[in-house]
Structure 1
Amino acid sequence: MSDSSGDVEKDYRYWTNDDRRHHNNDGASQEEEQPHLSHEQEVLREAAEPPFTETGGDDDDAATENDGRNNGETGAPLGPVVSAKPSVTNVKSVPNGGLTAWLQVVGAFFLFWNTWGIINTFGTYQTYYESGILASSSPSDISWIGSVQAFLLMLVGAITGPVYDAGYFRHLLIGGSLLSVFGQMMLSLCTKYWQVFLAQGICIGLGSGCLFVPAVAILSTYFSTKIATATGLAAAGSSLGGVVYPIVFYRLQPSIGFPWATRVLGFMMLATLGISNSVMRVRVPPTGRRKMLDLTAFKEPPYVFFVAGLFLAFMGLYAPFFYVQSYAIETGIANPRLAFYLLSIINATSTFGRIIPGYVGDYIGPLNMIIPCSLLAGVLCLCFMAAQGIAAVIVVCAFYGFFSGTLVSLPPTIFVTLTKSRAVIGTRMGMGFAIISIGLLVGTPIDGAILNNSGKYEYVWLFAGLLTIAGTLCIVGSRVTKGGISILKKV
């Protein structure tokens, strides 16, 4: 190319839009060949760069051109702008950090604290009920209270997902908080099985269901590449709540009685949920009402395999949470005072099992992270069969808490990964949790029925462990259909 052509190429960056179009039509310039980028690289590049657009519409363009002529210029340059109305489908506008974004993590932390944290506390209530106000009921009957509570937590997500997408986040937050606190306060007045079932199983379960999906769905509007870390930190609230609430109940119940010990927990729920209501804000306004179901999700093998895997895994997941205390007491492995802390050990180590795998999942992919953790959780559940001493039981509880924690913290992130359109994240997440809730509903009562008929906890651990391993195999199917067989690919 001649020197004059080189000068033209050098000055090309100073041309106006009209000059560029004219030059390209004449074929006087050639575009440089752009390197090929993968889909993941395109997403990361778009997330890191602000959107570029021309300012104004047709009328604004005409006015800008007139102003440019008056100033000796011939057009308006392109430049980065901030969208006045961020879109939920535009990953480029996601803040991925900042004070407001991390405040949402704090708010979601306390929502997890009062949803899954309450579910994780039920093992203490199970042990108390068996020798307390519900001593005439069987362990299987009592476990139905906790399983219905967990079932409603996820099932209500099938409704609250689309409601959240329609813009009613604040309504769900306030309504769920009131239901949860009201149910806890009513529990303090209960003396019969049906009363406990309505207050703890139904009322708190409905309140938790209103809070859970918004807790995880709102984080996807504030974080993109850090979504697994943010969700892991928020999900740690369920573990810490599962540590604090049982200890408070266990320490206070002998001295002030069941009613007031339960009310103290209710006041703690009121205070912590007040924090969530104070700091959580919707970043992206709704674009319109969403449909209740997105049936196209069931045509996507990764989504189907993943939901099926969690359905099986959650059938077995909560057996140690509900029965490890009574197992240690009835088999003579530990005295009641020491056996109580086994559930707290599971919940304490589960805190790290939510944060650390979530952080690592941002680098290697959440699906790649959940598979080994889920598999080890199943194997550790089987290890309870061989744990005959208190030291062995404590070790198994500690590791089980860590690896089982990922099954609570990572699924919301994976649902975001498996959903192409961010506009239906709430809908698909709610659909998935509704199906998974059935596994939660029937899992622990089946464990109780096995225990009633056989009288052996070994069969309970065998049933729960094999179900968790079977669920892991389905999640492997989701990983392969989504990212192929290469173990090095981030999925």
Structure 2
Amino acid sequence: MVNEREPLLAQRQNSESWISEIRAHEVARTAQDNEDYPIDHGYVAWMQVLGGFIIFANSWGLPNAFGVFQTYYVNTLMPSVDAASIAWIGSIQLFFTTVGCLPAGVLLDRGYLKSLIAAGTILEVVGLILTSFFKSFWAILFAQGVCMGVGSGLLAIIPVVILAMFFEKKRMLATGLASTGASVAGIVYTLPMRSLFIRIGFAWTVRAFALVILLTNLIAFLVMRLQRQYGSKGSDFGFHHFKDLPYSAFVCAFTLFVASSFVPFFFVQEYAIGLGVSKDMAFNLLSIMNAANIFGRFVPNYVADRYGGVNTLLPLSVACIITMCMLPLAQNLPGLIAISTVYGFLSGGVIIIPGPTITDLSPDNTEIGMRLGLAYLVAAFGGLLGNPLSGALKGHETNAVRNFSGVWFSGAAIMAAGFLALVITRWLKLGSVAAKGRV
């Protein structure tokens, strides 16, 4: 039974109680002595970054690419369904992606890495194939929202946990580099889709998309590994982790960021078309935003390795709030390109820094998967409600600026609440909002 539950730790049965008590830095030091699994350097460690890049692309990268589906569904496939309702497809997908992080985190704590990659890939591919055949709202909601979302959820937490095992001093940077996969996916997956929808049709485009995910995830399956010393029985499931008040406050901030940060990604194309921008250029706006997001996913992370995730998120979130409030001022293509570029860069850090920050706030390496999973479980409700609620504030006038002002200000207000939760996190951790310290 032990071998089945903990396949990678069968040879360590006699030392389980010892391992379960040691701290994260002690696990890292022990792993450092193993030539096969060095910390912060080496071939194996950087192959985890490659595998994490792929997994990020094929999990968190899918919401970044949903804008191209949103626009196609609204204008072509389901023109009778309003945009706010169609946004539920992407939000359900994001919801299950984040909810799935909890069971995935528990299973990772017990050593089931390869099984998670295989199961998540199968569900994503099946969901896309079903989407290629379906034409009704509810059928696509199930296939793309639920099936793909659950598959992505089994994958989404893997890079954060694995990179926390292989990197210590460069943890934020390594995670940021891997997470650029999500932004690259937003470019590589969306740019060809518009033309492919016209050339070979929606169905075959989506099937080709499924094949790409299958083949790339196979690479991640082959290269990704667990540390030999990692974990024991894993953390017991329970909400007692929320007794850690700085952790709880940060989870609230994370939830509010998930609820708000994807709003421009979901609605910028529709806003651009409402302003009279051509459909082709509106599609390119999402790619521009994702291109800027690439740099935003590792430049702030480099800073966060030195000053801490919370300290870095505070100014980033303020800048994102200001940028979203400026979107109504973008009333032509040059303005949209400028603000999309700025927001794409700033939101990169807001989206990715919370994951490794939670690992820094975890005192025990054997609990990383569980604590990340619980955080993503709570944040899932932000992803579920944030975009549809903001989308419901969209007006129905002929003036696109007035129609979308409520959407942008709603996203900014939710992120402002997240900023306040960050301030509380810092206060609880350091004893004072103005205190100096890395957190």
TM-score (norm 1): 0.80
- Distance in 2 separating the partners of 1:103 and 1:356: 20
Answering whether residue 76 of structure 2 is matched by residue 132 of structure 1, we say yes
Query: Unaligned regions of 5+ residues in structure 2, if any?
Result: 1-18, 32-38
Partner of 2:85: 141
* Aligned with residue 271 of structure 2, among 327, 330, 333: 327
Code of the aligned partner of 1:437: A
| Offset at residue 426 of structure 1 (A) | 0.5
**1:437 is the counterpart of 2:380:** yes
- C-alpha separation between the residues in 1 aligned to 2:77 and 2:236? 44
Residue 210 of structure 1 aligns with which residue? Answer: 154
The one-letter code matched in structure 2 to 1:381 is: M
Specify the SS of the correspondent of 2:46.
Answer: helix
Structure 2 counterparts to residues 85-164 of structure 1, below 5 A: 90-94=27-31, 95-164=39-108
User: Which structure 2 residues correspond to residues 401-480 of structure 1 after superposition, within 5 A?
Assistant: 401-451=344-394, 456-480=403-427
**How far apart, in 2, do the equivalents of 1:460 and 1:299 lie?**
35
Q: Deviations over 1:244-289 (max 9, x none)?
A: 1011211211111101111111111112111101100111354125
Q: Is 1:117–1:242's contact at 8 Å kept on the other side of the alignment?
A: yes
User: Within 2, Cα distance between the matches of 1:128 and 1:211?
Assistant: 27
Q: Amino acid of the residue matched to residue 301 of structure 2?
A: G
Give the equivalent residue in structure 2 for 1:490. Answer: 438
User: Where is the helix percentage greater, Structure 1 or Structure 2?
Assistant: 2
Distance in 2 (CA, whole Å) between partners of 1:251 and 1:186 is 21
Match of 1:257 among 201, 204, 207: 201
SS in 1 for 2:233: coil
Unaligned residue ranges in structure 1 (runs of 5+): 1-82
Classify the secondary structure of the residue corresponding to 2:353. Answer: helix
The residue correspondences of 1:18-37 to structure 2 (distance < 5 A) are: none
- Offset at 1:87? 8.4
Residue equivalent to 2:227: 283
Partner of 1:394, secondary structure, is helix
SS in 1 for 2:237: coil
User: Shift in Å at residue 301 of structure 1?
Assistant: 2.1
**1:394 counterpart residue number:** 337
**Corresponding position of 1:384:** 327
SS at match of 2:341: helix
> Deviation at 1:240?
0.3
Residues 309-388 of structure 1 aligned to structure 2 (within 5 Å): 309-332=253-276, 334-388=277-331
Q: In structure 2, how many angstroms separate the alpha carbons of the residues matched to 1:290 and 1:432?
A: 14
2:175 paired residue among 226, 231, 242: 231
Q: Which has the larger radius of gyration?
A: 1
Q: Distance in 1 between matches of 2:314 and 2:234?
A: 35
Partners of 2:350 and 2:95 lie apart in 1 by 16
Q: Deviations over 1:31-64 (max 9, x none)?
A: xxxxxxxxxxxxxxxxxxxxxxxxxxxxxxxxxx
Note the C-alpha offset of 1:219. Answer: 0.9
Does structure 1 retain, via aligned residues, the 8 Å contact 2:87–2:391? yes
Cα distance, 1:487 vs structure 2: 5.8
Letter in 2 for 1:464: G
Identity %: 34
Q: Aligned partners of 1:213 and 1:323: how far apart in 2? A: 26
Q: Counterpart amino acid of 1:91?
A: A
Matches within 5 A, 1:58-77: none
Answer 1 or 2: higher relative contact order, Cα 8 Å, separation at least 6: 2
Alpha-carbon shift at residue 102 of structure 1 (Å): 0.6
Whole-angstrom distance in 2 between the partners of 1:384 and 1:230: 32
Distance 1:476 1:346 in 2: 28
C-alpha separation in 2, matches of 1:406 and 1:177: 26
Give the letter for the 2:317 counterpart: S
**In 2, are the aligned partners of 1:123 and 1:343 still within 8 Å (CA)?**
yes
1:418-470 CA-partner distances (Å, limit 9, x unpaired): 11111101101000111111011011111221115777101111111111122
Count of aligned pairs: 405
Residues 44-94 of structure 1: CA deviation (Å, up to 9, x unaligned): xxxxxxxxxxxxxxxxxxxxxxxxxxxxxxxxxxxxxxx9xx986523134
Deviation at 1:392, TM superposition (A): 1.3
Q: Secondary structure of the residue that 2:115 maps to in structure 1?
A: helix
Instruction: Report the 3-state secondary structure (helix = DSSP H, G, I; strand = E; otherwise coil) of the residue aligned with 1:167.
Output: coil
2:183–2:291 Cα contact (<8 Å) kept: yes
Alpha-carbon offset, residue 488 of structure 1? 4.3
Aligned residues: CA RMSD: 1.7
* Residue type of the alignment partner of 2:354: P
**d(CA) in 2 for partners of 1:370 and 1:275?**
32
| Preserved contact between residue 143 and residue 445 of structure 1 (Cα < 8 Å) | yes
Structure 1 residue 196 corresponds to structure 2 residue 153: no
Q: Is the 8 A contact 2:424 2:433 kept in 1?
A: no
CA distance in 2, matches of 1:289, 1:243: 37
TM-score (norm: length of structure 2): 0.89
